[in-house]
Structure 1
Amino acid sequence: MLKNKTAIKLFEEKKVRSTWSEEDERWYFSIVDIIEILTDSERPRKYWSDLKSKLNVEGSELSENIGQLKMQSTDGKFYKTDVADTEQLFRLIQSIPSPKAEPFKLWIAKVARERIDEIEDPEIGIDRLMETYLKKGYSKDWINQRLKSIEVRKDLTDEWDERGVKKD
């Protein structure tokens, strides 16, 4: 049984319908709402339809993996609505030629570069983790303890794997 929470997110004072899925443990966002905000289109459903066709021609599987959930419309009724999780939403934003989408694209590119750097040099990831915890106000002692507990947990799960313990 799918239990979820619904919420209205605001972006530039415009509503984005969203739903939290307990089953998947992720947020889903109305694609049409996002497109309306990023494109200022008078017909966001038509824009989405055209974009889906374009993506299919380009060989993208994004539109094939899009789900539908019932979301409340402006008339108060619930209709099936195309929704995207965060990863799908980022991919969708990359496909929208709009000045409003550009800041998201730049941020996505920056995060991707940082992640690639961390793969090449894992110590960068640890430094970034330390920096993030410090910015959130945690003490260095707390951060060091947290890093040690992560290491201990990894050692424990590695030992379980070696002994054939299976996750349910």
Structure 2
Amino acid sequence: MTKETAIKLFNKSQIRTLWDDKQEKWYFSVIDVIQVLTDSNNSRRYWSDLKIKLKQEGSQLYEKIVQLKMAASDGRMRETDVADTEQLLRIIQSIPSPKAEPFKKWLAKVGYERIEETEDPELTFDRAMETYLKKGYSTNWINQRLKSIEVRKELTDEWEVRGIKKGQEYAILTDEITKAWAGLTTKDYKNLKNLKKENLRDHMTNLELVLNMLAETSTTELSKKAKPKSFLESKKVAKNGGAVAGNARKELEQKLGESIISPLNAKELEDKKKNKQIMSDPE
């Protein structure tokens, strides 16, 4: 069972969701999930009893559950218990529902990490090719993407040598590189392509991938040369590395007479490709 199937299952069930832009997390209404899985006449009572059971088992899950405002059946915004993806999977494991079995069997086989791998194949290089093929990407694009993963790994290895902390500092430096070559922050770039948690690189065109690789490779080599001793120095290097690709982008755009930065995401790019093929095929 793939991540896409699980998400479709939830979407078809019309479960209320909320995207937290700051944390880059989806939150799901717990009551809605329980209603779908159990067909209970009183899903609130079911959830109340389940919380007691989890607490008795020593689970700290309930302590992590938060309340967010979501549209109620009367249209008003009311606070309700919500869970992120990881918490939701833990809840589903505690519900003896036939509807949850396909999901739970899949979960038992590959674990929660596999969900993240399907959502972001960069987390596991070995399965990346298979994952991208299943998603319908072309072999040519996949080869570019796998190379970009290698380039990214070399960059993060260099950052680790320079004492850059994973997480926020990586994100800040990546943002500097992206702004310098694409003229957009990572967030703005994702918004342009109408993306949420999806990996931005998974939705780049071949040209975008090549320029992004040039930006990251340049940053790696400049960092090795400059040997920055602080985060601020590494930030300057990231900006300079991104600028190398930024200059290449501007020069190519001038010759092409059009922007290289595409607002299309992977699905839209594939649809465009199919439509172009249909139009070119003789009747």
What letter is aligned with 2:141?
W
Which letter does structure 1 place at the counterpart of 2:49?
Answer: D
Matched, 1:63 2:51: no
Unaligned runs of 5+ in 2: 1-7, 118-123, 173-283
Structure with higher helix content: 2
Shift of 1:135: 2.5
- In the alignment, structure 1 residue 54 sits paired with structure 2 residue 53: yes
Task: Indicate the residue corresponding to 1:131 in structure 2.
Answer: 130
* Residues 38-96 of structure 1, C-alpha deviations (whole Å, 9 max, x = no match): 01110100100000000000011111100100111112222110000111111100000
Q: TM-score, normalised by structure 1?
A: 0.80
Tell me the SS of whatever aligns to 1:152: helix
Greater displacement, 81-90 / 136-145: 136-145
Distance in 1, Cα, partners of 2:137 & 2:14: 34
CA distance in 1, matches of 2:9, 2:147: 39
Matched residue of 2:68: which SS?
strand
Q: Which amino acid letter does the alignment assign opposite residue 24 of structure 2? A: E
Amino acid at match of 1:30: S
Within 1, Cα distance between the matches of 2:28 and 2:16? 6
Asked whether the equivalents of residues 26 and 84 of structure 2 are also in contact (C-alpha less than 8 Å), the reply is yes
Moved more, 128-137 or 31-40: 128-137
Residue identity matched to 2:83: A
CA distance in 2, matches of 1:140, 1:87: 32
Describe the SS at the equivalent of 2:98: coil
2:36 corresponding residue in structure 1? 37
RMSD of Structure 2 on Structure 1 (CA): 2.4
Question: Do the aligned partners of residues 147 and 112 (structure 1) sit closer, same or farther apart at CA in structure 2, a change above 3 Å counting?
Answer: same
Q: Residue 69 of structure 2 aligns to which amino acid in structure 1?
A: K
* Matched residue, 1:143: 142
Structure 1 counterpart of 2:222 = none
- SS of structure 1 residue aligned to 2:99: coil
Counterpart amino acid of residue 156 in structure 1: L
Max radius of gyration: which structure? Answer: 2
The offset of 1:37, in angstroms, is 0.8
Secondary structure of the 2:95 match is coil
Is the CA contact 2:30–2:83 (under 8 Å) kept in the aligned structure 1? yes
Greater mean deviation of Cα atoms: 142-151 or 80-89: 142-151
**In structure 1, distance between residues paired with 2:162 and 2:143:** 29
TM-score when normalising by structure 2: 0.49
CA distance in 1, matches of 2:33, 2:48: 14
Amino acid at match of 1:94: Q
- The aligned length equals 152
CA distance in 1, matches of 2:75, 2:9: 18
Give the match's secondary structure for 1:83. Answer: strand
Between the aligned partners of 2:73 and 2:137, the Cα distance in structure 1 is 43
Give 1:154's aligned residue: 153
Residue correspondence of structure 1 range 83-162 to structure 2 within 5 A: 83-112=82-111, 125-162=124-161
| Structure 1 position 12, deviation (Å) | 8.5
Distance, in Å, in 1 between the alignment partners of 2:17 and 2:154 is 38
**Alpha-carbon distance, 1:113 to partner:** 9.1
State the secondary structure of the residue aligned to 1:101: helix
Contact kept, 8 Å, 1:10 with 1:16, in 2: the verdict is no
Question: Following the alignment from structure 1 to structure 2, what is the Cα–Cα distance between the partners of residues 135 and 17?
Answer: 28
